[in-house]
Amino acid sequence: MNSYGDEVDLEFPLKISGLTEKTIVQIRGIKLDIVMPDGEHWTSHWRSLYQSVSLGRTRDWPTLKMKRVLFNRIKNMQIRARATLGFNVFEIGSGSQVKLTNNFLRLPGGATCLNEISQSWLQCFAALKQPEPLFVVANLPSADCQVSREATTEPWAPTPATFADLSGESGASLDFTPIQQFNISVSRYYEFEDRDIRLPVCSGTPLLVTTPKFLYAVRDEIDFGEITLLNYEPTEPREIVPPIPHPVAKGSPDMVSRNLPPSHFFQKPK
């Protein structure tokens, strides 16, 4: 929430359905076009995004900015709005299960990682180039790798902890650094999927790792009809209209009970 400055953050929640088990969608950009009651047009132009959506996700919250002067002038008006979204679509193929042992991890392809558990990420090293694209799934938190109660003030969304780097094949670094350093941090969304938290990876935690295959890029338009922009400015605490029912939680709040089995994500090698 941007309460100060000359720009206002606007969030446009999208409901997600029909996503196949082997598909990852990367939202690369959003553009908002509005028509005011007097016929005046406004466009946000394209805003870059790097949001990944995989199996289990039910909503996403693309964000863009508007000048505060304009927002204050039209925020209570009934305006017509249309969003255009740009996507990259990836397919998840066969994957490998690796396990963190004594805070050390070896990725398929030879990269190695050290566990920075206090920072909740893996610090990794690879010869010449890092593995990209890369998708990692972990059933976290778990009975063997719990998080603090401060991190569980909200229920979890029905999607596992993931890490996605879908930037594509980068090749060797142009500065010819023999060792490339990169980080892997798995995070999980809370129930409304507007916020996520980086989770620690404990020794003994299995990780499922795959290299997604790029399929195609596509655009889509969503006609919001008549809306009031004031309803799309984020508030704290968040108010969602109409209300979304809370899922029924099972088990201890500092453990996970809604993880998805690995078979939902990875094809068995042929």
Residue 169 has pLDDT above 80, yes or no: no
Report the pLDDT value the prediction gives residue 159, as an integer from 0 to 100.
86
**CATH number, residue 48:** 2.60.40
- 183 and 80 belong to one structural domain: no
Report the pLDDT value the prediction gives residue 260, as an integer from 0 to 100.
55
Confidence of residue 71 (pLDDT cuts 50, 70, 90): very high
- 204 and 112 belong to one structural domain: yes
DSSP-based three-state secondary structure for 81: strand
- 19 and 132 belong to one structural domain: no
Residue 256 has pLDDT above 50, yes or no: no
Q: Which domain holds residue 120?
A: 96-211+252-263
- 45 and 32 belong to one structural domain: yes
Concatenate the DSSP letters of all residues of 7-50 into one string: EEEEE--EE-----TTEEEEEEEEEEEEE-TTS-EEE---EEEE
- 123 and 257 belong to one structural domain: yes
Q: Which of 158, 161, 157, 125 is nearest to 142 (CA)?
A: 161
- 109 and 191 belong to one structural domain: yes
Dist. CA 137–CA 266, nearest whole Å: 10
Residue 250 has pLDDT above 70, yes or no: no
Report the pLDDT value the prediction gives residue 270, as an integer from 0 to 100.
46
- 136 and 199 belong to one structural domain: yes
The per-residue pLDDT for range 16-45, each reduced to its tens digit, is: 888 888 899 999 999 999 999 999 999 999
Residue 247 has pLDDT above 90, yes or no: no
- 35 and 48 belong to one structural domain: yes
Report the pLDDT value the prediction gives residue 253, as an integer from 0 to 100.
39
Number of structural domains the chain divides into: 2
Confidence of residue 65 (pLDDT cuts 50, 70, 90): very high
- 192 and 171 belong to one structural domain: yes
Buried b (16+ CB within 10 A) or exposed e, 158-169: bbbbbbbbbeee
Residue 197 has pLDDT above 50, yes or no: yes
- 45 and 121 belong to one structural domain: no
Residue 203 has pLDDT above 50, yes or no: yes
Q: Is residue 65 part of a domain?
A: yes
Mean residue pLDDT of the chain comes to: 84
Q: Is residue 2 part of a domain?
A: no
Confidence of residue 89 (pLDDT cuts 50, 70, 90): very high
CB 19 within 8 A of CB 25: yes
